[in-house]
Structure 1
Amino acid sequence: MKHVTSADGTLIAMHEDGAGPTVVIVNGALSTARDAAEIARAFAEAGLRAITYDRRARGDSGDGAVAAPEREVEDLAAVIAASGAGAAVIGHSSGAVLAQFAAGHGLPMSHLFLSEPPFRFGEDMPAADLEDRLQAAVDDGHSEGAVVLFQREAVGLPEPFIEQFRASPAFAQIAPLGRSTIYDALVTRRASTPSTEMREVRMPVTSLCGVETMPILVTAASRLAEMMPDAEYLQVPESVGHRMDPEATARIVVARVAG
């Protein structure tokens, strides 16, 4: 692990695995670089140099005073700069929204892979005050409450699933990530409908969608393909339940960045 410094001075932790063409992996909500270790290893075994990093307010990375999507764009810019020229980027879930948002801001990427980005296109949006309530929960020291609120209102998980998850050992691992939910809520609201700059990015784009995933993600993948007719759209049968299959995803990525 090493740290790079973002534009506002925040330290961002990044990890490297393998050798070959570079691919930066941008995680989704309530996850850290550790959660991408399996896919990074699959990329490395396929002949790629995989870079994972802790998005700010997670893991070994720091955080700024005020949450904003632009700060996360700057973080990704710092990681790409430290990774060397010609890096491809793959984002999953809200990480895919962030990756495309960053590409629309002009970040250099050789190829952009979007895995099940939760674009809502302005429809069925979370309550307008969600980010304020997440911030209030964090300010009051209720990180767990922010996580539950995010799962309930931003993700739309059913209450029985949330309660079951709260009772599991896994919940203790993500409970400290309450502050990070503000960033995910902000970027998915700001980029609910991809802007002209996001739709007209200049690098090759591959949109990926698995099976047995949330309906909102299937709809988003279809509508994004309509809005970006030059983008490649692939269904990945091996990716089930809003999870990137490491080996299948590695085969897709290596064929496009190392072929």
Structure 2
Amino acid sequence: MPELPEVETVRTGLEPLLVGREISGVTCFRKQLRYPLPDLTGLVGQRIEAVARRSKYLLFQLSGGQTLVWHLGMTGQFHLLSQQSEKGAHEHVSIDLSDGHSLRYRDARRFGYAGLLSPAELLSHPWFATLGPEPLGPLFNCDHLIAVCQGRKAPIKTVIMNATNVVGVGNIYAAESLFRAGIHPARAAGKISKKRLLLLIHVIQQVLQEAIEAGGSSISDFVNTEGKPGYFSHAFQVYGREGAACSRCTKKIKRMVQAGRSTFYCPGCQH
């Protein structure tokens, strides 16, 4: 599933292509993806004012005041094509623009979903109401993480992957961040010192920023708006490397399962 760096990569790719363009037509080739699609006919005549992101949601801010919210699910992709381009495989929505291009949404597994929300709903809607701070923003700081971890027996990896605590730290980026911080993924969150939590914040931000600069991580289906994969997977130090030698201590990377997800770590470097 695309995580924060992948969604941010899509956002930065779409922003210069869409902002200021007027929507001239909308075609939905099916009524439902993961959930029923909203009525998108009201988009016609509106201008795209901004392309933003909250957690793993793309936010297309419209001149009429509403925001078109889109979650990519497992395999969702946006591509900007000529309006004359034929409908592609797994293409479910086409948004025509006044400059002769179409924003096409493709989704092989159809786990993506969309909504049209008012400004107030962006705060109160169930998709957003319980979300924690953005990891690259000022609210994700040591005071926040200490408060989240205080007294918690839950494993630190589970805590930082919980979107109510901080958004966008998916399985890959949690594993890589904990390795860089030297923290064992199963260590109880409440047993980690302030100094180590401060380091963890720093490396989470570092890992995510590096992943964004590399265009995200392509494990299976992810490609950017130009159809290119992300290259951060070439920098993995533990994720997917079970049995390989640690780049720091040469001990073999191990794998375990936490909350139904594979966790990779170095038993020599992480405590």
Q: What TM-score results when the alignment is normalised by the length of structure 2?
A: 0.25
Bigger fraction of residues in helix: 1
Structure of greater relative contact order (alpha carbons < 8 Å, 6+ residues apart): 1
Bigger fraction of residues in strand: 2
Q: What TM-score results when the alignment is normalised by the length of structure 1?
A: 0.26
